Amino acid sequence: MKGAEAEDRAARHLAGLGRAVVARNYRLPGGEIDLITREPDGTLVFTEVRQRAAGRFGSAAESVTPRKLALMHRAALAYLTRELGREDLPCRLEVLTIDGPADTGTLALIPLT
């Protein structure tokens, strides 16, 4: 349930930035996108949500591995081609981190290139 609470807070935060939530927990074999949102200009944003209640094993951002980023990229391409029929739409990847409790921890958005 902890992950769902972090994703709920992340969805509310992104909606507060003016984005529309398009999908949550988009799954395919070998990958998942936690949140897919659309900005007012139409850009799709694929967001990985990471939360760490305590820092003894590192920060939430440090929990995102190169393998996770590769799987996220693959899942984003699959979404574009399977759900929208093309892969050349404006989009980007990002990680939303929460360090501390899901409801009150420090939230940060990390854009990925």
Q: What is the pTM of this model?
A: 0.92
Q: Give the start-end residues of each E strand in 1-41.
A: 20-28, 31-38
pLDDT tens digits for 43-81? 999 999 999 988 677 899 998 999 999 999 999 999 999
pLDDT above 70 as % of the chain: 96
Does residue 90 sit in helix, strand or coil?
Answer: coil
Domains, the chain, in order of start with CATH, read 2-55+65-112 (3.40.1350.10)
Question: What is the distance between the alpha carbons of residues 37 and 53, in angstroms, rounded to a whole number?
Answer: 25
